[in-house]
Structure formats: C-alpha cells, structure tokens
Amino acid sequence: MAQYARGSAVAVIRLRNPPVNALSRAVLQALEDGLKKADADPSVKAVMICGENGKFSAGADIRGFSAPKRLGGALGPIVSLIESSEKPVVAAIEGVALGGGLEVALGCHYRVAHVKARMGLPEVTLGLLPGAEGTQRLPRLIGVPAALDMITTGKHIPATEALKLGLVDEIVEENTIEAAIRLANKVIGQPLGPRRLSLKPVPKVPNMEAFLDEALAKVKRQARGCLAPELCFQAVRAATRSPFAEGVRRERELFQVLLSSGQAQALQYAFFAERAVRRWATPGGASWSSAAPQPVRRAAVIGLGTMGRGIVTSLVKANIPLVALEQDLENLNKGRKAVMLLLEREAMKMEGGAQVLDFHNPARLQFTVDFDLLRDVDLVIEAVFENMALKKEIFHKLSKICKPGALLCTNTSALNIDEIASATNRPQQVIGTHFFSPAHVMRLLEIIYGRHTSPTAIATAMQLATALKKVGVVVGNCFGFVGNRMMFPYVQQAVFLLEEGSRPDAVDQVLEDFGFKIGPFRMSDLAGLDVGWRSRKDQGLTGPSLPAGTPARQRHGQRYSPLPDLLCERGRFGQKTGKGWYLYEKAGGRTATPDPWLLNFLSQYRDTHGIRTRFIDQEEILERCLFSLINEGFAILAEGIASGPEHLDVIYINGYGWPKHRGGPMFYASTVGLPRVLAKLQKYSEAHPDVPGLQPSAFLKKLAAVGNPPLKEWMSYLSQQSSKL
C-alpha cells in the first residue's frame, strides 16, 4: 500500500509493501489515489514520495508478472501522472530505488538521495527492460552513454555516482525525508516545465550513429544468447530517434516481447531460486528457521595452492582476520606472494584500495607454517591436495589443536565428508565448503553436511557464504556432491561422442551455442586433465592398480573411455602443457586451436577398437550431454541429496557456467517437458545399454507418468513415492 499524509503544505506519499516496497497493484492504486488527493487539495502545494523502512522501492512486484492480470502496463501511466502534476513532486530516495522504483523517481520533478542509497534499472537481469518509460526518461536526464550502460547491464550505482551523473539533485548524509520536504517547500511555485524529463531533448553525442553501432556490438558480445540486453538497447536507441511518446510506444512493444519470452520466465525463476536456497533444510529435520550460526571472528586456511589463495583473498575481502598456513617455508613464500598479488589486484578495483583491505597488517592476515597458531580460530578451511589420507591426517591434527567450538571445513570437491570427519573427535563440527575456482570470483559455495554435522555448523557455513558475498547451497554427502556428480555423466557423454565420431570443437561449439560460457573440452583443458586422471588412478580405473586383462573400454561391466587417460599418458594436460584436447600457442597459453594430431589420434583409436566413425548431429550432442546431466539431477533429488530442483539450478548457474537465461538444468528440463526428456533418454539408452548415465531415473519416469507436473510440485511426488524409488 501507499500511505498518504499531509502535515504542512507538503503531502507525503509513503510506499509501503515490506520488505522492499515492491510496486504491487495495491501499491500502485494507493499511489495513484494519493496523487489525485494531493492534486485536489488546495492547501497542498507540493508532494514528497518516499518508501517505508528506509527503502524507496525495489521496483515492480516480480511475482506480479506471472499473475493472470499482469502488472505490465499499470506503472507507466502512473509515472506520467506524477510528472504531469502541477505541484512539484520530490522523491526521497533511501536504501534502494531499483527498476520501477527508480522509474517512479524519474517521474518526480526532483530527487534527493541518501548517501548510502543505491539506484539502478536491473530489469535486464530479469529478462526484461524498464517498462515504465525509464528507457525514455533516463537518457534525457543523464545522456545516452551512461543510460545505455545502466540499462543494458542492470548495475546498481551508489548515490555518489548518481549525483555525478545528474541522476539525483542532492545527496544527504542525515535525514533524507526532512531534506526532501525542505526542498519541496523551497521549490513551491517554481516552473515545472524544465523539470519534466519527457519534455527534455536527449543530449547529443558527437556522431551518435557510430556510437550506437559500437555500443550494439558490445551489447551483443556480452549478451551470449540472452535477449534482454539487445532489446534494452533498442528501446534506448528509440529515445535517440523518436519523440518521447513514440519512444514510449516502442518501449511497451519491446517490453511485451520480453515479458512473454521464456528467457524472462527463466531469469525470474533464477532470481527466486537464489533466494529460496537460503531456506535450507536437511532430511533429518534441521533447518534455517531453527539453527543459529556461531560468530566467526578469526579463521584459518590450510594450503595455499590455487584454491587456498582464492579462499584467503575472499576472506580478506570479507574483512575476516585470518591465518594462512602451508606445510613448509618454500610453499608458504610462494603462496604468500601469489595471495599478495591477488589482493593488490582486488584492492585496485575497490574504492579505498589496500587501506580498506588492510592485508599488510599481520593482525588481519598472518602467514605461518605453525599449526599451533590455529589454537583459537573459530573456523578452519582446509584446501590441500585432493587426497583422503592427507585430509584425514590434517583433520586429526586440527581436532587436537583447535579450540572445542571451532568449525572444521574441507574444500574437497568430491571426497566423503563422513570419512574425513571420522578422523576427528568432533564430527558434528566437520562440514564441506566446496569453493569454485577462482574462489575469490566464483559466487557458488556448495555446503555439504555429513551424517553428524550439526545444524549450527550448517548455519555457520551459510552465514560465511553470505559474508563472502557468495550463494551458499546446502547439499548432502555423496561422491561429487551435487555439482560434480551431475557433471560426470555430462563429461562422459562428451568423451563418448568423440569415440563415436565427433570432434572436441564440434561438441564445445554446440554447448557454447546453447549458452555455456565454455564447452566441456575447453573446460577440461583449462582445469587440467591431470586432476581427473589422478582421481581415476586413485579409484583404480586406470594406472598400475588396474587389474591385468581389464578390457580397454569397460570398467565394472560399464562402458568406459580411456581417451582422457591416453592423453595424460602423452603429457597432454591441457593449457598448462600447451596441449590437451586442443593445441595452445605455448604452455600456459589460452588460445585453443583444433589439433590435427588429436584428430589423427582419434581416428587411429577408432580403428584400433573397431568403432565405425559416424556423423553426429548437433541435436544428439546437446541431448546426450544435457539430458544425462539432468537425469543425474533427478537421481540426486530422489536420494534426498538436495531438497529441491532450485538447489541444483542455483549450483549450475553460479558454479558451472550454465546460462542463467535458461534457468538451470532442472528448469530447462521442465521447459523441454519431462516426457520428451524421458523419451530421448530411453532412445539413447537403448542405443548404449552399457551406459548407466543414460538410463532414465525412476523419479523422472514417475514425474513423466503423472503428467509432467510443474517444477514446484516435483518434490511432493517424491515424498509420496520415495519408498518405491
């Protein structure tokens, strides 16, 4: 709702819809009523619009977009109504003014913002564009380049920047409401014409068309298959070419195109999924609502390899004092140098730089080889080599040294949390915190609870994720957890496709066209083929421990491809050695080119194993890779490893480069339709009966059989059926 009050000559309209004053139908109606009341009251000389609880507004109510009577067209006319008021209207911006919230402020004649407020038009991140005339008013106020930047990226800008851009008239450090009322009183009676943005011309840019061509090329490059950025661009371009009213018509048309696109639905689903996973629960009954985190005043990181360095950087950026430990001085010095370099780079990106991060202060970041310094830390993150014996040795030591309440986290990407915990005297305080590389950049933190992990430990790890500005997703313990477990069949299919006749660049291209930032072979070259090779050797799948007489392309009765092992045996570890699935300009090089040697090797390999090379089309590449990954997702849900499909989707979007505008693998499956996913898996599994990853999961079959229910209902079918799965 919006509350109307009148004290002096200034009427106050307060947007009220906790927690973020989203502009629902009811709020819009009350805003309109308030404006009309103020207009009709001769004692009112000016109007001030603000938001309840220190927030202006986070924009249109996103849930309203899927309602039968859509919010769509309601906001624009109200913004026009504000602007056409004969009495000055002042916006008092506190907290956030985003999307439709900022568009309301743009309709006002004056804007006063608190210094800590943030503003932006983030509609593009929801697959939309600012549809309440924002694409036409903003360029008139701050110019085309700045408006394009804000609208096509959706970034939030701080009040100080907004002032520089001319987006707000004034910023204040104290009471924004009082400052806005003061301003409103001051401007009573002043002409409003020059303050109405719709009447302003769009500021000229020298050689506007050339500028727009370049801007469009940039938007297309960054959009990677996402529709909204380009349509945002088109709406702003309309402002440069047409009068206001025509620009608004174009904006509405483009908004409708986006609103009904599958991409907008996927992006809005992703927005709510990210928030839903904060409300974690375990099958044992622990949940976010009853578990309280414990404070982390000081932390420690063990191991300063690639992951450890990123984790240290992340903790420093989150202002958490810490100790960084290595096994010997040589590794410590190497790690320290690398961490300092990372931190210098991070500091350069921040206002206040190195002083804010304070990483030269040993009280905040201490490097050591002495385990004793971990005596009174509240939380340890172990990030050593992926080896069970080593991890157990470290955890045993930690449980003897660390204070009783300390949380012991492991950054394993696949190993058994319970086995690691068994080496300690406090398994309830052992938890997996799986970071993604580079750990100071990637947003995902997979949080894995073991059989004995306490709710407090889970809540503390989730709180850590928030402190690190990451998305924490709580999952159960199994080999590879959620992310890597779903990745195994995907990568396996990619390699099988090579065996059967495809090429690394063909497979990568299909998946990159789908929207992945990087295809499976380029990814494997980047991560290093030796990582998986080591793990397969540890599992006895290859190397000296493989029993003599094991068939080359079979393990435990299932199809196995030795191709990655064969590459590793030839020293082809990927980018680091200058060759892997691709050829690079040098060891450590990044430009991948198809390697004639590999193509020749593949053809010899097929001859050796009697495989007839066949042409594999794009559809088969896409379906075999994606549907096997999705199939594993259904198995994970059925086993209770994750509490809902949103968890899997958030993991894939934030940790594995899944295109957000496709909503995550499980959402994607729901858009394809589960009967179709099932039918395709059945077809491929008939053709490849020795590949378990292609055999449809019982849960998928169940959902297809009950009529393809909407994604939000999936888990209810599981509880009814779990005994039979």
β-bridge pairing 444-449 and 471-475: parallel
Place of tokens 């240290």: 312
The span of 61-69, 185-193, 325-333, 716-724 binding ligand 3H9 (CB under 6 A) equals 61-69
β-bridge pairing 89-93 and 118-120: unpaired
| Token reading at 486 | 């779903």
Q: Is 329 helix (H, G, I), strand (E, B) or coil?
A: helix
* Cβ-based nearer residue to ligand 3H9, 260 or 558: 260
106 binds ligand 3H9 (CB under 6 A): no
63 binds ligand 3H9 (CB under 6 A): yes
Task: Check: CB of residue 483 under 8 Å from CB of residue 665.
Answer: no
Q: Is 518 helix (H, G, I), strand (E, B) or coil?
A: coil
Q: Minimum distance from CB of 64 to ligand 3H9 (Å)?
A: 8
The span of 46-54, 128-136, 349-357, 455-463 binding ligand 3H9 (CB under 6 A) equals 128-136
123 binds ligand 3H9 (CB under 6 A): yes
131 binds ligand 3H9 (CB under 6 A): yes
* Cβ-based nearer residue to ligand 3H9, 58 or 342: 58
62 binds ligand 3H9 (CB under 6 A): yes
Q: Minimum distance from CB of 275 to ligand 3H9 (Å)?
A: 4
- Residues with Cβ within 8 Å of 649's Cβ and at least 6 positions away in sequence, in order, are 269, 270, 273, 658, 663, 664, 665, 666, 667
x-marked contacts with ligand 3H9 along 77-96 as a string, rule CB under 6 A: -------------------x
* Cβ-based nearer residue to ligand 3H9, 96 or 197: 96
Among 275, 337, 345, 403, binds ligand 3H9 (CB under 6 A): 275
Q: Residue 696: phi, psi to the nearest 5?
A: -55, 140
Give the 3-state DSSP-derived string for 125-145, with helices as H, strands as E and coil as C. Answer: HHCCCCCCCHHHHHHHHHCHH
103 binds ligand 3H9 (CB under 6 A): yes
Among 11, 12, 61, 692, binds ligand 3H9 (CB under 6 A): 61
Q: Is 446 helix (H, G, I), strand (E, B) or coil?
A: strand
Number of residue whose CB is nearest ligand 3H9: 99
* Cβ-based nearer residue to ligand 3H9, 122 or 335: 122
132 binds ligand 3H9 (CB under 6 A): yes
- Residues with Cβ within 8 Å of 380's Cβ and at least 6 positions away in sequence, in order, are 299, 300, 301, 302, 374, 398, 402, 406, 407, 408, 409
Place of tokens 């025509």: 246
Which of 472, 342, 361, 329 lies closest to 409, judged by CA? 472
The span of 67-75, 86-94, 182-190, 686-694 binding ligand 3H9 (CB under 6 A) equals 67-75
**How far apart are the C-alpha atoms of 227 and 252, rounded to whole Å?**
16
99 binds ligand 3H9 (CB under 6 A): yes
Which of 465, 537, 134, 422 lies closest to 320, judged by CA? 465
Question: Rule CB under 6 A: which of 315-374 touch ligand 3H9?
Answer: none
Among 2, 28, 34, 72, binds ligand 3H9 (CB under 6 A): 72
Among 19, 42, 191, 352, binds ligand 3H9 (CB under 6 A): 19
Q: Minimum distance from CB of 117 to ligand 3H9 (Å)?
A: 11
**How far apart are the C-alpha atoms of 150 and 154, rounded to whole Å?**
5
133 binds ligand 3H9 (CB under 6 A): no
* Cβ-based nearer residue to ligand 3H9, 58 or 172: 58
* Cβ-based nearer residue to ligand 3H9, 96 or 357: 96
x-marked contacts with ligand 3H9 along 222-261 as a string, rule CB under 6 A: ----------------------------------------
Instruction: Indicate the burial class of 185 (C-beta count within 10 angstroms; 0-12, 13-18, 19 or more).
Output: middle
Q: Minimum distance from CB of 158 to ligand 3H9 (Å)?
A: 13
Q: Is 279 helix (H, G, I), strand (E, B) or coil?
A: coil
Among 4, 13, 45, 59, binds ligand 3H9 (CB under 6 A): 59
164 binds ligand 3H9 (CB under 6 A): no
Query: DSSP for 51-96?
Result: EGGG--B--B-GGGGGSSS-SGGGHHHHHHHHHH-SS-EEEEE-SE
- Residues with Cβ within 8 Å of 567's Cβ and at least 6 positions away in sequence, in order, are 529, 580, 581
| Token reading at 175 | 């009471």
Which of 70, 208, 222, 37 lies closest to 139, judged by CA? 208
The span of 127-135, 282-290, 366-374, 681-689 binding ligand 3H9 (CB under 6 A) equals 127-135
Q: Minimum distance from CB of 23 to ligand 3H9 (Å)?
A: 7
Place of tokens 């408006």: 147
Task: Check: CB of residue 376 under 8 Å from CB of residue 403.
Answer: yes
Q: Minimum distance from CB of 76 to ligand 3H9 (Å)?
A: 6
* Cβ-based nearer residue to ligand 3H9, 108 or 347: 108
β-bridge pairing 96-98 and 89-93: unpaired
- Residues with Cβ within 8 Å of 304's Cβ and at least 6 positions away in sequence, in order, are 312, 324, 326, 331, 332, 334, 335, 336, 338, 339
Q: Minimum distance from CB of 316 to ligand 3H9 (Å)?
A: 22
Q: Minimum distance from CB of 127 to ligand 3H9 (Å)?
A: 10
Among 2, 13, 47, 75, binds ligand 3H9 (CB under 6 A): 75
Q: Minimum distance from CB of 641 to ligand 3H9 (Å)?
A: 23
100 binds ligand 3H9 (CB under 6 A): yes
Q: Minimum distance from CB of 216 to ligand 3H9 (Å)?
A: 21
Among 20, 38, 342, 409, binds ligand 3H9 (CB under 6 A): 20
Number of residues that bind ligand 3H9 (CB under 6 A): 27
Where on the phi/psi map is residue 50: left (φ > 0), alpha (ψ -120 to 50), or beta? beta
**How far apart are the C-alpha atoms of 391 and 422, rounded to whole Å?**
11
Place of tokens 């009966």: 689
Q: Minimum distance from CB of 223 to ligand 3H9 (Å)?
A: 18
Among 30, 35, 79, 98, binds ligand 3H9 (CB under 6 A): 98
The DSSP code for 612 is: P
Q: Minimum distance from CB of 630 to ligand 3H9 (Å)?
A: 26
* Cβ-based nearer residue to ligand 3H9, 126 or 394: 126
Q: Minimum distance from CB of 120 to ligand 3H9 (Å)?
A: 8
**How far apart are the C-alpha atoms of 627 and 631, rounded to whole Å?**
6
Kind plus residue range of the DSSP H or E element containing 413: none
22 binds ligand 3H9 (CB under 6 A): yes
**How far apart are the C-alpha atoms of 687 and 162, rounded to whole Å?**
60
Among 113, 126, 167, 258, binds ligand 3H9 (CB under 6 A): 126
Among 51, 88, 122, 574, binds ligand 3H9 (CB under 6 A): 122
Query: DSSP for 209-271?
Result: HHHHHHHHHHHHHHHTT-SHHHHHHHHHHHHHHS-HHHHHHHHHHHHHHHHTSHHHHHHHHHH
* Cβ-based nearer residue to ligand 3H9, 134 or 696: 134
Among 51, 88, 127, 130, binds ligand 3H9 (CB under 6 A): 130
60 binds ligand 3H9 (CB under 6 A): yes
Catalytically annotated residues = 103, 123
Q: Applying CB under 6 A, which residues contact ligand 3H9?
A: 19-20, 22, 58-63, 71-72, 75, 96, 98-100, 103, 122-123, 126, 128, 130-132, 134, 272, 275
